[in-house]
Structure 1
């Protein structure tokens, strides 16, 4: 399998300047492979994209913190994510992918290493198995740690997954709005179904991210903005934003991270909404000890 690069090597400087303390709440690290090998089940083999590169990009884009989500190419070996968190000087936290048989002591070690959530991936092109019963057991076991659950799925699975998500006892964060068809606009069937789901489930949050994947139009991603901005307005206390750097499997349409940052003021129309999206909401989930919650 050929190793691929899917990120822009010289992203533009955003015109929009994020507020001090802003969090890129969805990004990844890859390797370095020599130190942290990829999973034997990996569906893609990326070039190394380690913490030094990630933090340099963060500074270039004007962010202060990162949430590093375990990438599927590393499977349940979270060492690359933990390594990046350890090198961040407490400016990064993480979301892990764990084996269902993980012990409580191993979960405690992940928490000490900066992990604050666990991800359940239902994208068949990325994972071979997504056992709902095992996932529910994990969700119940992490509740004591104050973690949340991140769920990644495509829009056609929403109805099937609702009973599963209703059984999860923690806060849930949906990656990339459940990947709806944004080309149908804010009144499209899939985005309306997702909005109705959020209305009925106050413990569910979402990331208004991945314009580069979801837009049928491409830059400047007008269709994505038209569909995602109403979510930011209606669910202002339950939305997050992230770059998704280093954009796994985007090698044929590598996005400019600076241009993605410039979507933020279009997604969040006021300074108050931008602060919630970029600071208040991610801090509640990932650095609760700094906002009066439990760490």
Structure 2
């Protein structure tokens, strides 16, 4: 830079506040957070917490949320993403509590018994999409104009939306066919495989190892598709199944030597979230 320009590096004090958002789903989590005056990017933080247990494309009217979260402020302006501390999410008449706890490897989220909310597979390969077509062995194909089994679940989303690997694994195919369009297939272990069809662009190659939540491509409408979506297919022991009906085991729970500290944290934050006046502004 030349005069009269210059650069000055300054630091400002930060404030971390605990805030609360509570409400009932009427439209979508994003819209309903905005309706109750909460930051809309809290939806992303909550989706990350519940990515393994709640398919946010399947929220229904009457689902409810009550969440305590940390928010950082600089000069009285919020910065960064809200960080969930504890959340009670009621989905389809089932209460799903989530408590943040660090066992030494970073924050993670657990239910009240210490079971991890993480599971072997994410509930959906795209965030905040909607299901446009389900697994159906007698589906009428809109392009072929005949009955043809639909072995996947279609998630409609705008072109270019990132598609995520639902679990760790190795890419076995990253290719193109007339029907599938651009697609990726992943082998997760000797039991499970997944496939993602109709991509606009692939982001991985065959033989590449991928991690859960990694972007492997982007939503498109290549192949036999009437609009932008990802057709998500799930194999179990070599047979295509409806992944929405599968019950997957959780990841590592709270370790035994950490249980007392975890239960103390749960007791503390459960009391706070049950206090209807706590962190209400």
Q: Same fold, TM exceeding 0.5?
A: no
Q: Rg larger in 1 or in 2?
A: 2
More helix by percentage: 1
Query: Normalization by structure 1: what TM-score?
Result: 0.27
More strand by percentage: 2
Q: Which has the higher contact order (CA 8 A, sep 6+)?
A: 1
